[in-house]
A and B are shown apart, each in its own frame.
Chain A
Amino acid sequence: MGDTRIDNTIRRLRFEHGEMTQQALAEHAGVTRQTINAIELGKYSPSLEVAFRIAAAFGTPLEQVFQYRKGGMKK
């Protein structure tokens, strides 16, 4: 799997939502805390359904949470 081409702003959004914990976000998204951590670090690309659930947890559009990088892979 390795690093993905998808950037995300989950860490910043969690901070802006009252320091929401990874566990709390995981419960909103219906995944484990380790999966949220892997997504946040760019090591795992979530399915569309989980991506929408994460965006819904923050009450923001999907594209504000995830951005596709057209260039090369993240170093």
Chain B
Amino acid sequence: MSFREKMAWISFVLLLLLTVAFAISHHFHPHDAQGHDVIDPAHMFFGILLAFVLLQVVLRVIIAIQAPKDARTPKDERERFIELRAARIGFYTLVVAELVAMALFHLHGRAFFLMSSVLLAIFVAWLVKLGTEIVLYRRGA
């Protein structure tokens, strides 16, 4: 497995965990007796995001230490081509997901709901981009 493919796998798995954690924290955040949030959902989200960034950095550093030569090598034309193809598919996913988010906001009319669905749309589009990269690397394209 190439260095870039390993990086794509790390980002994909961590982003998937972030998306699941975001969805869970959004729906099952604890309330007190009066029904108020015990933890501010925004704080919870930024905590999860911070953990995501730190884990990503640590894992990337570990992979780079194991293969320092690969880490120093710039992307070649095939890797750039794979990234561009994946970015194109991710872009169309983002457009569709944002349109769905806006339509849902139109139905529900809550600003917090719009913020959450827009964030979720970004996560999903990024997951599609990374997933496409992994598939293209696996196919040897």
Q: Which residues in A have some Cβ–Cβ distance to B below 8 Å?
A: 1-2, 30-35, 37-38, 41, 43-44, 46-47, 50
Are A38 and B77 interface neighbours, CB within 8 A? no
Q: State A50–B141 Cα separation when bound (angstroms).
A: 16
Q: A23 vs B5: C-alpha distance in the bound complex, in angstroms?
A: 17
* Interface bits B55-82 vs A (CB < 8 Å: 1, else 0): 0000000000000001001001111000
Are B73 and A32 within 8 A (Cβ)? yes
Report how many A-B pairs have Cβ atoms within 8 Å: 42
B1 (CB) vs chain A CBs: closest residue: A34
Give the interface SS of chain A, mostly helix, strand, loop or mixed: loop
Q: List 18 A-B contacts (CB under 8 A).
A: A1-B139, A1-B141, A2-B139, A2-B141, A31-B76, A32-B2, A32-B76, A32-B79, A33-B2, A34-B78, A34-B137, A34-B140, A38-B140, A38-B141, A41-B140, A43-B140, A46-B77, A50-B77
Residue count of chain B within 8 Å CB distance of chain A: 15
> Which residue of chain A has the shortest Cβ distance to B3 in the bound complex?
A32
Which residue in chain A gives the minimum CB-CB distance to B4?
A32
Interface: B7 (CB within 8 A): no
Task: Determine the chain A residues whose CB is within 8 A of the CB of B73 once the complex forms.
Answer: 32
CA distance A40 to B122 in the complex (A): 37
User: Chain B interface (Cβ within 8 Å of chain A)?
Assistant: 2-5, 70, 73, 76-79, 136-137, 139-141
**In whole Å, how far is B61's beta carbon from the nearest beta carbon of chain A?**
21
B139 pairs with A47, CB closer than 8 A = no
Does the CB pair A34–B77 fall under 8 Å?
A: no
B136 touches A1 (CB 8 A): yes
Residues of chain B within 8 A of A32, CB atoms compared: 2-4, 70, 73, 76, 78-79
- Residues in B whose Cβ lies below 8 Å from that of A1: 136, 139, 141
> How far in angstroms is the closest Cβ of chain B from A54?
12
Do A35 and B141 have beta carbons less than 8 Å apart? no
The answer to whether residues A38 and B78 also contact, given A32-B2, A43-B139 and a CB cut-off of 8 A, is: yes
Roughly how many angstroms separate A47 CA and B77 CA in the complex, as a whole number? 8
